[in-house]
Structure 1
Amino acid sequence: MRNNGPIALIFHALVVTFVLAPLLVVCLVAFTPEDTLSLPTHGVSLRWFKAIFEHPDFVQSFYNSLLLALLSATLSLCVALPAGLAIGRLSFAGRDFLNALFLSPLIIPTLVLGVALMRLFASMGVSGSFGWLVVAHVVVISPYVLRLVLAAVVGMDKSAEQAAQSLGAGPWTVFRRVTLPMILPGITGGWLLAFINSFDELTMSIFVTTPATVTLPVRMYMYATESIDPMMASVSALMILITGAAMLILDRVYGLDKVLIGQQG
């Protein structure tokens, strides 16, 4: 194992470089003063970042994505928290089925899910509603919240709850004063992971958005089909910044290694 240490380190360094190199190139191109996507560039300019604010449709799409991610992540938590507590702590008929039902969106391609939701919303006559777009995102991102909540519930020390009950605390007091603080990192981590996935969701959103509810990833896709200029790199750089900041907070709050274990569990 010791002899494989340097080889493993070099291999992981190459993998990380391969993954991060395109993101670095995009961020560098975002600061170019040129009219085309090109490297090397001559000088540094914020021209294309300013160009974003000259396109009201991009600004509106950003607000749509931000509001959508906030609402869908919060609603997903409201659904996944009681489900995670029930699945992780109780034994009842259909528990495995309920768990599989909540996690089923993970195994359904988002393309198929998008087409199915589009047909469903059309048959219900609610196509174009921002509220139903939130529901569609809740369906997609709820499994991420559930996995982290389940990991936190299963891994918590139940002796603290038993001690509180022995001292006369009621069920609500035990949950509010003992259980909730112990699983709070999993709740926060699940919410942040859901927010990231909702903010970056493209494939499914293409089918359920309308001109009034276009999200930022969909707007970028539509813009890229018409023209490609450095403004796309500047928008991508901002999305990388937002996602990176959310991932940093997630790592500080919960730990990315625990997130990976929770998603695989």
Structure 2
Amino acid sequence: MTRIPRILLVFHTLFAIFMLAPLVMVVLVAFTDKGYIALPFDGASWRWFRAILDNGDFITAFQRSLVLAAGAATLAVLLAIPAGMAIAWYRFTGREAILGLLLSPLMVPPIVLGIAMLRFLTQIGGSGTMAGLVAAHTVIVMPYVLRLVVAAATGFDRSIAHAAESLGASPLTVFWRIELPSILPGVAGGWLIAFITSFDELSLTIFVASPSTQTLPVKMYAYIANTIDPLLASISAVLLALTLILMVLLERFFGLERVLGGKT
């Protein structure tokens, strides 16, 4: 086994500390017993975690963000599976153009997308509605799902599907029993990344959402503009914990290397 040079080990350690230090600070601030953001503090307290439960607006915004993220991620998966399978397995005219079009939201700034979505949804009467938010978020999370689905489908040995078809299996049976289970790690990873991206999206949502459809990031942004206290730190700590739980579950059932690498 090749030993890692000490200089690289030191560099990676410092880089990890640099990346994790802000998250650790946020979690520590969440446990302060003071009414303002400060470190160090005299003693740990659950004060600001209890304050989350006392703030109905944040609870409602959190529930709305969950529904929005789950809806956008699921819709993106339903669209990305057939598109990804077609792009990975077939060669047809316009294939590269279609792939570039589906991945183009990655290259467009969220603010530009937000203005465009606001204009479009206003024209069709969907501005400020939950359906409009789901549609807008589906557009921005679709590329993440598509890339993992294409990667998973590319690594699939199609001779297995051809063998099943030659034995009399219908195309639907081949899809449900062979193809979909084979690309499921990529689909699950795409759904998770799409869910987290949609849940955390702020720039586009500000343009599309209305006061009655504010998501948690928008609510937090509006709150911090007027008030500075550890409440947002406690909310962020809860979100970090939920994200870690999702990652652990994904590792437990599929394996992060298979999911994020799009391997079958």
Q: Which residue of 2 aligns with 1:124?
A: 124
The 5-angstrom pairing of residues 92-107 of structure 1 reads 92-107=92-107
In structure 1, stretches of 5+ residues that fail to align are: none
CA contact 2:148–2:260 (8 Å) conserved in 1? no
How far is the alpha carbon of 1:203 from its aligned partner? 1.2
| 16 and 148 in structure 1: CA distance in 2 versus 1, 3 angstrom threshold | same
The 5-angstrom pairing of residues 1-265 of structure 1 reads 5-257=5-257, 261=261
Distance (Å, rounded) in 1 between the aligned partners of 2:53 and 2:77: 33
Distance (Å, rounded) in 2 between the aligned partners of 1:72 and 1:53: 26
Residue aligned with 1:42, SS: coil
Q: CA RMSD in A?
A: 1.7
TM-score by length of 2: 0.94
CA contact 1:68–1:134 (8 Å) conserved in 2? yes
| 253 and 8 in structure 1: CA distance in 2 versus 1, 3 angstrom threshold | farther
Letter aligned with residue 148 of structure 1: L
How far is the alpha carbon of 1:123 from its aligned partner? 2.8
How far is the alpha carbon of 1:261 from its aligned partner? 4.8
Distance (Å, rounded) in 2 between the aligned partners of 1:27 and 1:97: 45
CA contact 2:186–2:260 (8 Å) conserved in 1? no
How far is the alpha carbon of 1:254 from its aligned partner? 4.8
Number of residue-to-residue matches in the alignment:
262
In structure 2, stretches of 5+ residues that fail to align are: none
Q: Deviations over 1:203-243 (max 9, x none)?
A: 11111111111000110000000011010100111111122
Q: Deviations over 1:5-58 (max 9, x none)?
A: 221111111111101110001001101111111111111111101111211110
| 7 and 258 in structure 1: CA distance in 2 versus 1, 3 angstrom threshold | farther
| 3 and 70 in structure 1: CA distance in 2 versus 1, 3 angstrom threshold | closer
Letter aligned with residue 69 of structure 1: A
Identity of aligned residues (%): 51
Distance (Å, rounded) in 1 between the aligned partners of 2:29 and 2:216: 19
Letter aligned with residue 11 of structure 2: F
CA contact 1:185–1:253 (8 Å) conserved in 2? no
